[in-house]
Structure 1
Amino acid sequence: MEKKKKKKAWLMAGVIILVVIMISVSVFRQVSAKAPSVKTVKTSEEEISSLLMIPGAIKLQEEQIVYPSPDKGELKEILVQEGQTVKKGTVLAKLQNAQLELETEQNKLALESANLKIDQINQKMKQFKDKEKALIDQIGKEEAKKQLDPEHEQLDMEQKMANLDLKQAMLQKDMISKRQSELEIKSLLDGIVLSVKKPGESSVTAANAEPIVHIGKLDGMVASGLLSEFDTLKVKSGQKVIVRSDAVPGTEWQGEIMNVALIPQQNQTAIQNGNQAVQYPVAIKITGDTNSLKPGFQVIMEIETDKKVAIVLPIDAVHDDGDKPFVYLIKNGKAYKQDVKTGITSGKKIEILQGVSKGENVIIHGPNSIKDGMEVTEQ
């Protein structure tokens, strides 16, 4: 009998404990549901700017690429080596042109012939003067002039023709000298020889011939990309740019806009499809240490635009239910839904144009179950 009483007592105690636990859990859930914990931020005015992100590629700021020139001559020799430092005016390579050599010899003969003719005519003119003087002494000036005029006119015409031949030969010499100077390919800048390649017979005449010499300045890198016609209205020289490359993860470079082209580069594919896609080349000068960058690297350029001071919030604080963007304000321990009008976005921050004022508390982190008018607890 006593055992039954003890068993019954233990059973009653277990029921009571279970009821207490259930009540505690229920109360805890009610309290938690009633006042969830949230993290807030006070609205403030900060400097914000929108970022325009465009793809691009790294290029040398100054470079010279020399291609085969079969129209000027055949490659005779390359006078520089890869890695060599060169000064402006250094002869990089020499060409040879058999046709030009023949024309040079012909021109020398033409000059020699023209000078001989002039010498001969000058000798004839001297003889004519002596003859004229003697005839004047014999028959007088007037009569001598009548007799010698035809001969004088003939000599004068021959002299003019000889001078024209000489002038033409001299002009031809100047043209040949200019073409001969083009047989020496000179460096247009102070730089380093990046590559040297003597072309084969096939690549000299091919339309897609490879460069024979490539020179550049490694201490100056630029990033180039294309802007749409709308984006050109937001970009101007001097604006700050951040450059990133997947080839060098975790690293970024500072830069600024050098220039935006006035003339667009048209997309030929788009034109063929009937869509006039117009894009404007933009060049960005990169500052700082660029040793890890190489020409040809693909990059993303973040161009800072529309810089101003405005009320900003973390982008996580702004929600959108498909109607209007809104935030949750905290007033007197409760969350209140507030529609807002947003402006530009910069990184993880967004501009608030309307809906909240400076100094208000806005929820940035909390449970997804927050409702308008719900009691909340600030962390």
Structure 2
Amino acid sequence: MKKRIIIIGVIVLLIAAIGIKLAANKKNIDDKKKPTLTSNVSIPVNTVIVGLLDANNQLVKTGNLVPFKEADIMAISSGKLVSVNFNLGSMVSQGGVVAQVDNRMLQLNLEQARLAKDKSDKDYKRYKTLLEGEAATEVNYQDAKLNSENAGNQIELLQKQMADNNIKSPVSGQVVSKVKEAGEFVNPGTVLGHVVDISQLKVNVLVGEKDAYTLQTGQKVTVTTDIYPDVKFEGKITFISGQGDATHNYQVEILLQNNGQHKLKAGTFVYADFARESQQKLMLIPRSSLVESLKNPFVYVIENGKAVVRKISVGREFGDQIEVLSGLQEKDQVITAGQVNIKEGSLVKGIVAK
């Protein structure tokens, strides 16, 4: 009896201990579920208000040199290449034969066509004589005449096909790409290589609306490059677009000769100086506003007390200022300092620079 009472007491103690442990665990879980109290503190940041400013600068635009002419060397018939007469760097002339497609089958067909032409010509003359002597019908004569003409057309067709097998360069210049070798099969439109003519070079730039109305074709432009820092190249305006893009910029093409002592190459970065003051208003922001590099430019603007990311497109740099081509509007409040402490959606308090 006494032993039974002891066992019951031990069981009761175990149950009590389990109950206490469960209660403690429940309290810990409830404590974890309670929301953490956070303070809605706005982070102070320096800002500027975006606007259009008069930029007192020369009208200088940047661009890359492009070839005066460039074209693909292209096959216009199908067959196996028996020769490719150019290599990378080769100088070729417009209309010069630079590759040859196999002509042997066409040559055999041409010989056969010439034999057929000789026979049809003889038949035509014979039937013409017979018709004059009323020994042949008009139908026989007309058939012989038609056969003679068809044989002549067949010869012209084969000669045209053989001429097409002579692959010619569409422009004069230097071969900068070669993608086919002798022995390979080609079809009409197959590209064998690429030729560029850099005896003259072009620069395509965009100018603002007001500037576009002050420029004229034939106007001289000074072109410079960092490759030859002390050399100035003379160009002239050959084209001004009559239609602007969505941002009211107009394409201007400048042509310059490339036959002097200092040879230029297509793709070179250049500056085009129009030798006059620009009348364009520019949207400028401090260089420090950019969160990342110029390759991936974006800034933070303040909207309803929060930091919002804005992707932008940038142009020229003017000291510690940089031109914004798109992505911002007038009166936007752009953060210029303190970006390291914020992210998208952070509460901020803008301090406008005076």
- TM-score tier by shorter-chain length is 0.3 to 0.5
Greater helix share, structure number: 1
TM-score (norm 1): 0.45
TM-score (norm 2): 0.47
